[in-house]
Structure 1
Amino acid sequence: MSGNNSALLGRPSERTQTVAAQPGAGLYAYSERIDAWVVRTAKPVSYEVRVADGLFDFGRTDLLEPAAAPGTRLRRFVVIDSDVDLLHGSRIRAYFDYHDVDYTLCVVPADETVKSFETAARIVEDLDAFGVDRRREPLIVIGGGVLMDIVGLASSLYRRGTPFIRVPTTLIGLVDAGVGAKTGVNFNGHKNRLGTYFPADLTLLDRSFLATVGRRHIGNGMAEILKIALIKDARLFDLLESHGPLLLDEKFQGETGGGEAAAREVVRRAIQGMLEELQPNLWEAKLERSVDYGHTFSPTVEMSALPALLHGEAVCVDMALTTAIARRRGLINDIDAQRVYDVMRSLELPAWDDLLDQPELLTAALRDTVRHRDGMQHLPLPVGIGDVTFVNDLGEQELLDAVLELKVVGRRAGSPEHV
């Protein structure tokens, strides 16, 4: 993120004095009548998402950017998930040792139950003890979506913004949490109630980390891939329909030729689709966001079920419910709706959770979403497979009727043993 273009613009008045600001920064205007200034500024934002297979091979130098100041040793503050440290910590340390980096590894247990401001504050305490040069020493976070969200928030707050680099180690991190601009922690029983918009300068994607990720967590990430497929990419849905179980079995490691080709295309299409939706509306000025699909009821369901449901599993339950709503409205036909439920089952994802039997929970979730979306539902619903529309007229009875339908279809579609 670099560059700054500012101007002070006065409100219209009978007597307005226009004065040149500093060179290249535009003009500002002072209104004598109302004795006020209005400040507007624009800061271009640029960040990179880079495929970096074999990231910790000694020959790769992605994590050594930017170089140290002349005559000084390269320094890095690294936050790493405690589970990732157990599995990969030795090779990560060996990498930094090989390149003679002065580094500190801050090891953090990270899941939704500790996704809190207190965890972020503990990271900042260690960061403050280490000290960083904000221009040359970006923080590095190695872990899943939860840890990347926490560290992103800490980075955005520390000295009003300290650059950071993301290394996602889960599938949901690779295709969702690792490519956007939002950071956040849970607060007061609400998911991501505290947060900022602060993208990492660089996200490095290494699929090899997925080899040590549990099968359930692979499925968890595939729910977010399914989201992109349903709202904008029918080809991606076809790939999940035909290769989903193989990708789940191989953990996206390409153990077979067909598995490798499918893994590459699925990951690329999921990331490309996500970025296409995020880039024109990165700060969410427009509240009709197709990538909110699956995220209307799921935040409340997920927090109520915690820790029984993973994030992607809660999103999948939401997508199953909104598929039922869309089918009842004629937006998706019976055959395609059944295909959606069949793919959920093949990916070992839940299409039903007993929390849906609590009408007050669902209506509270919808009310909370309306508050979050400026008084409107802006509810994304699938149109067939690969398109989306937004509605603002979902009523309580229609919602409950869809729940009753899903109770039969969703349970038949599959309910993994862990749910």
Structure 2
Amino acid sequence: MINVQLLRDPAFVDQLGRAAQLKRMNFDANQLSAAFEDRRKIVGLVDDARARQKSLSKGFRDADDATRASLQAQLTQISDEVKSLTVQLNAAEERLQELALRAPSIPDAAAPVGVTDEDNEVIRHWGEPRRMDPDMVDHVELARQLGLVEFDRAQKFAGSRSIALTGNGALLTRAVLAMALDLLTVRGFRPVMPPVLVREEAMVGTGYFPLGVEDAYKADREDRYLVGTSEVSLVSLHRDELLSLSDLPIRYAGISSCFRREAGSHGRDTRGLYRVHQFDKVEQVSIIEADDELSAREQLALLDNSETVLKALELPHRVAIACTGEMGQGQRLKYEVETWMPSRGAYSETHSCSSFGDFQSRRSNIKYRTSTGETAFAYTLNNTAVAAPRILIPLLEHHQQSDGSVRIPTALRPYLNGLSTLTAETPSSELVPTYTPA
């Protein structure tokens, strides 16, 4: 959420309107400005009425009976006036809040102006992309041959975009998630397995509502929602808190299942593992001091964590600064990490690294006490560490071998009991250490 007090400045209103255009958002900054002015006028009328009420009350005690009768009539009239104005003020507050929750944050100057991902600014590549040879198959066929995923059986009872990771597919996914979680833990992030069913205020507080409500699953009887990312829960852990400066930075590594309806992607990426309704993710969240330079450094550190995971998995990828048209409502600057997927013949998004400034903390009321004793809203940032099953697309395709097996990257082998090659005949018992009952 923006600081509505800035709406006093017409230049800021213009800047906000421009931000909405750049982000391709249907938002009218002038309408928000008008709502702010309406509330200001009513607040002024309420203050004036209460001042008159206070002034008349002072003279009431020492007045004679005749004067008191007149004063009482005036006080009754003012009291009715205040009640009426209070109703108007509450309505104006609700209107302002409703519009303010839909306002965008202003993109960082480093964000390239553009409309689609074609306008993103690619800043580096890592690794050599592998092209699909005639003897190669895509991840769907490879997963079927190796017995890693049930597509048809899962969709029979769960519907489209549903899968079941089975056997070695489940163990391979667990290994990737565990490796990413361990990396973040070693780098000072606190592991968290947070709630994935949350109240509406958590979704509003992190900026996923009201604009993204159509992508969320709702538990109607509970009036709660399944999160599309553990970012919602990790940020909300500190909702309505006043933190000490010594508490910051707070860095979380959340591991959870995530749920998205994919309402805006009807007919897109329906084959395979790229876009499913339920997935698992290790997410990075940082809560830091309100400092732009510190935020820039923190964002690059989060980005490095994700690239380190991809390098460990030996997956070619590239990093791009997202253009304004590819940014979400609250994002100030976003890096997209796109991993090469041979069957798609393209780099495709696997990570999104975002800085939000105080957008989420204002909505969630997360403050800290500065070194001067004042209070300020914290800054928040987030980035995917790894998300599965999407990461299995490049992992399986890039590392497949001519005999139909899949090579296990060296860094991942300790999480699979040292296994170097995955075949259709590999028993799941070989992917876990020998279990000895106590």
Asked if these proteins are the same fold (TM beyond 0.5), I'd say no
Q: Of the two structures, which has the highest relative contact order with CA contacts closer than 8 Å and spacing of 6 or more?
A: 2
TM-score (norm 1): 0.26
Which protein has the bigger strand share? 2
